[in-house]
Amino acid sequence: MYDVFISYAEADADWAALLADRLRSDGVRVFFDRCSLRPGDVVVHQLEAAMRGSRHGIQIVGPLTMTEAWARQEYAALVQASTGHGMRLIPVLCGDADIPPFAATRVWMDFRKLSGDAFNEKAAELARVLRGEERVRTGHPERELLDLVRPRSPRSPTEPTPASFVVCYARADAGYGEGLVDHLARADLPVWSLGDLTWGDDYLWTIRQRLRHALAVVVLMSPEAEESEDVTREILEGQRHSREFFPILLRGERNYLLASSWYFDARNGELPGPEELRLLRRLHPRSAGVDRSPAGAPVMPPPPARARGPARAALTPAVRARTSLSRLEALLAEREFEHADLLTTTLLLESVDRLDTGWLRRADGRRLPDALLSEIDGLWTRFSGETHGFRAQARRALLGGGRHADFLALSVAYGWRGSAADAVPTYQDFVRRAKGHGFFPTLRNPQSERYVDWYDQWTETVLAVHLRLREEGRVR
pLDDT tens, per residue, the chain with 476 residues: 889 999 999 999 999 999 999 999 999 999 887 655 554 443 565 777 878 888 899 999 998 887 888 888 887 888 778 776 778 889 999 988 887 766 667 888 889 989 999 999 999 989 998 888 755 444 433 333 333 223 333 445 556 788 999 999 999 999 999 999 999 999 999 999 988 887 777 778 889 999 999 999 999 999 999 999 999 999 999 999 999 999 999 999 989 999 888 899 999 999 999 999 999 998 876 643 444 444 444 455 554 434 444 444 456 667 778 889 999 999 999 889 999 999 999 999 999 999 989 999 999 999 999 999 999 999 999 999 999 999 999 888 888 788 888 899 899 999 898 888 988 888 988 888 766 566 899 999 998 888 889 999 999 999 999 999 888 665 55
Domain boundary among 282, 307, 332: 307
In the chain, the number of structural domains is 3
Local structure of 382: helix, strand or coil? helix
Confirm whether 437 is domain-assigned: yes
Both 40 and 69 in one domain: the answer is: yes
Both 282 and 348 in one domain: the answer is: no
Confirm whether 137 is domain-assigned: no
Both 293 and 395 in one domain: the answer is: no
Contact 468/373 with Cβ under 8 angstroms?
yes
Both 183 and 302 in one domain: the answer is: yes
Query: CA–CA separation, 463 vs 348, rounded Å?
Result: 13
Domain boundary among 284, 307, 330: 307
What confidence score (pLDDT) does residue 263 get? 93
Which domain CATH number covers 214? 3.40.50.10140
Both 176 and 211 in one domain: the answer is: yes
Both 412 and 290 in one domain: the answer is: no
Euclidean distance between the first and final Cα of the chain, in Å? 67
CA angle 465/471/474 to nearest 5° reads 75
| Domain enclosing residue 256, as ranges | 165-307
DSSP annotation of 245? B
Domain boundary among 258, 286, 307: 307
Confirm whether 288 is domain-assigned: yes
Q: Which one, of 180, 219, 220, 194, lies nearest residue 138 by Cα?
A: 194
Contact 180/167 with Cβ under 8 angstroms?
yes
Contact 95/101 with Cβ under 8 angstroms?
no
Both 345 and 284 in one domain: the answer is: no
Local structure of 220: helix, strand or coil? strand
Confirm whether 155 is domain-assigned: no
CA angle 228/234/239 to nearest 5° reads 130
Confirm whether 212 is domain-assigned: yes
What confidence score (pLDDT) does residue 66 get? 79
